[in-house]
Structure 1
Amino acid sequence: MTELLQPAALTLAILADAALGEPVWLYRRVAHPIILIGQVIAWADRRFNRESATPAARRRAGLFVCLAGVAIAFLLGWGLQALLLSFPGGPLWLGLLMSTLIAQQSLYTHVADVAKAMELSGVEGGRIAVARIVGRDPEVLDEAGISRAAIESLAENFSDGIVAPIFWGLVLGLPGMLAYKAINTMDSMIGHKTPRHLDFGRAAAKLDDAVNLPASRLAALLLILAALVLKGARAAAAFRAVKLDATRHKSPNAGWPEAAMAGALGFAIAGPRRYHGVLVSDPWMNDGGRWQLKAPDIRAALALYWRACALLALAVLACAVS
């Protein structure tokens, strides 16, 4: 095992996050690493994204900010990893820090809250809960729309929030995880096709697509395998949905885990939806599946999700003991 390849620490990180989730008591006192990254990106956006600049100049500024942010995050991760591994029990401390960059428990909680809200308070409660995790207009969502939004968020964030940081942690250790989170955070903050960020955020959006490519395919594979161990799920249908529909998604990556989850459970997700009053006509993932979804269907998706997380943990553990 090299210094930058720490599957043992990463195994501890996965287990710690699954068991404990985010330590709220700690983040009341110390800012979460992603919050700190976001603050730096917001400062860079204000400082370098000048509306008076030409589109070409804004693209160059955005590329500079993107590369500088990734370099700083990588070097910070390298320094922290070297420091922690110099202490007694170094992999334990490294694993605990790595766990802050994985979102298994928090993703489960946020999506489960949508199902719980609908079970207790109906559509109105579901709209309030789902608005916390998706950007679409909640006031126009019915029970099926809320359920599909929650399941789509679960599938996409399984790739972005769990598989991707763990993948880059296996490849490059803590430096890879921090660099990935910097890229992902930049994309979420400035990688939008709005007048302000169309040019400045282009590099961040393109780089985010690139670094999420391996994780999205791996996430789809894990969901297909998880369907083998979930009663009522169908791995063959999940594989077929990925083969037919994954590349039809507007995102080069999101369609893979969404199609896999939809196919495994017999659902149809994505499709036409509304953002800020604008109807977006996207293809269905697992076209022909059942789209009139309800709270119990969110619960089924969460059951598949946890099995996929367990398979990922076993794969990382196998790397640690090999």
Structure 2
Amino acid sequence: MNSVIFYSLPEVLLLLAGAILLDWWIGDPKWLPHPVIFIGRWIGYWERRLLPHRTKRSNGILLMLIVTLSSLALVWILTSVASWIHPWLGYAVHMWLISTTIAIKGLKDAAMLVYDRLSRGELTKARKYTGYIVGRDTDGLEEAELSRATVETVAENTVDAVIAPLFFALIGAAPLAMLYRSVNTLDSMVGYRNTKYLHFGWASARLDDVLNWIPARLTGLMLMIVSAFYRPASAVQAWRAVVAFAHLHPSPNSGIPEAAVAGSLGIQLGGLNRYGGVISERARLGWATRTIEKEDIIHTIRLLYGVSYLVMGGLLCVACGWLV
């Protein structure tokens, strides 16, 4: 069987470029089964069996190992069998699976649902759609807070849903990209610092932090570069915001893209949020030079796509240079 370990660097780079094109074009169509849905069900299956036990941290480690290793193994088998049948089928399966680990179009579409409702003055619907993409309570939020929540989500997920999966796909194509996506899904399902998951989700949350460490910093750098294309001064402000504020975020990684976006746009992110009715004060990132408005959602989407264009250009330049 011809597996990914036999792919050359140009082949892997072109696979990543093709995956980005697929995501730009079709995203995650509802009629096509999505691997993350199956990963979520697999997590839920094992959570129901492991969580009730008293040794929650060790069972959480077991959950993490079962989900990540099974995801890695299954995708390696699928891509190896496809490559064995025909090399071009192997390329196609790799490309599609990698595309399912990124969500450029999905992020844009989700954010635009909020923006469109705000533009129409439909606050109730805007709150509903914001609630689909954030964990905080959205009832009663006004336009500025709904816009802030959406901007923060797009900024943070530029790491989780774009750069990080592509980073691991560069190292190990679809199998490693899917391993990353399984860790990220684990973190989103059990990685909460509450009574239920504090110990059980500890391993998943810490592994997610480790895997995102390099991608988060690459994303911050790319956001600064992309900001320079809009306004050179905003790139400097993005850098200053990362240096001054990123370390204040409870996550070792999420503060970097959020601070970069805040500095680039000249707004302040963070502040008071409610989770299940409980008020939480999140670190304030950036300088409040103006009030956040719905148009900042559009600006953040442009930064998101700018980062993806930057990655695409880099992939094609390196691949062509290598081949020539």
TM-based fold match above 0.5: yes
Query: What is the CA distance between 1:231 and its match in structure 2?
Result: 4.7
Where 1:279 maps in the other structure, the secondary structure is strand
Q: Which moved more, 1:207-216 or 1:15-24?
A: 15-24
After superposition, where does 1:183-262 map in structure 2 within 5 Å?
Answer: 183-231=183-231, 234-262=234-262
Say whether the 8 Å CA contact 1:232–1:265 is kept in structure 2: no
Check the 8 A contact 2:79/2:93 in 1, yes or no: no
Give, in whole Å, the separation in 1 of the partners of 2:68 and 2:253: 21
Aligned residue number for residue 41 of structure 2? 39
Task: Give the aligned partner of residue 19 of structure 2.
Answer: 13
Tell me whether 91-100 or 259-268 shows the greater mean CA deviation. Answer: 91-100
Secondary structure, counterpart of 2:139 in structure 1:
helix
The separation in 2 between residues aligned to 1:238 and 1:274, in whole angstroms, is 27
Q: Give the drift of 1:122.
A: 3.8
In the alignment, the residues of structure 2 paired with residue 183 and residue 96 of structure 1 have an alpha-carbon distance, to the nearest angstrom, of 19
Preserved CA contact (<8 Å) 2:268 2:287: yes
Contact kept, 8 Å, 1:213 with 1:252, in 2: the verdict is yes
- 8 A Cα contact 2:270 2:283, kept in partner: yes
Dislocated runs of 4+, deviation >4 Å? none
Matched, 1:3 2:9: no
Aligned to 1:316: 315
Shift of 1:226: 0.6
Superposed CA RMSD:
1.8
Contact kept in structure 1, 2:104 and 2:304, CA below 8 Å = no
Report Cα offsets for 1:160-208 as digits up to 9, x if no partner: 0111111110012111111111111111111112222111111111111
Q: CA deviation at 1:306?
A: 1.1
What is the correspondence of 1:104-143 to structure 2 with a 5 Å cutoff? 104-143=104-143
Query: Is 2:270–2:284's contact at 8 Å kept on the other side of the alignment?
Result: yes
CA distance, structure 2, for counterparts of residue 232 and residue 21 of structure 1? 31
Q: Separation in 2 of the partners of 1:186 and 1:93?
A: 24
Alignment partner, residue 72 of structure 2: 74
Q: Deviations over 1:83-109 (max 9, x none)?
A: 233324232332122211110101000
| SS of match in other structure, 2:274 | strand
Distance 1:217 1:289, change over 3 A: farther
Moved more, 140-149 or 309-318: 309-318
Asked if 1 retains the 8 angstrom alpha-carbon contact of 2:272 and 2:281, the reply is yes
Within the alignment, does 1:97 sit opposite 2:100 as a pair? no
Match of 1:228, SS state, is: helix
Return the alpha-carbon distance in structure 2 between the equivalents of residues 312 and 186 of structure 1. 26
Preserved CA contact (<8 Å) 2:27 2:106: yes
Structure 2 spans left out of the alignment, 5+ residues: none
Deviation at 1:232, TM superposition (A): 7.9
1:264-322 CA distance string (max 9 Å, x none): 111111122222212211221113443x2121121111112211111122223234332
Q: Is the 1:233–1:265 Cα contact (8 Å) retained in structure 2? A: no
Question: Cα distance, 1:80 vs. partner?
Answer: 2.1
Deviation per residue, 1:47-99 (Å, 9 max, x gap): 11125x1xxx2111111111222111112222222223332423233212221
- Count of residue correspondences: 313
- Indicate how the Cα distance of structure 1 residues 220 and 48 shifts in structure 2: closer, same or farther if over 3 A, else same: same
**Superposed displacement of residue 8, structure 1:** 1.4
Q: TM-score, normalised by structure 2?
A: 0.91
Tell me by how many angstroms 1:233 deviates: 6.7
Which stretch shifts more, 86-95 or 183-192? 86-95
Tell me, in whole angstroms, the C-alpha distance in 1 between the residues paired with 2:125 and 2:51: 39
Instruction: Tell me if structure 1 keeps the 8 A contact 2:95–2:174.
Output: no
Residue 83 of structure 1 corresponds to 81
Q: Could you tell me which residue of structure 2 aligns to residue 302 of structure 1?
A: 301
Aligned residue for 2:279, secondary structure, equals: strand
Look up the equivalent residue of 1:279 and give its one-letter code: I
Secondary structure (helix, strand or coil) at the match of 1:195 reads coil
Code of the residue aligned with 2:56 in structure 1: it is R
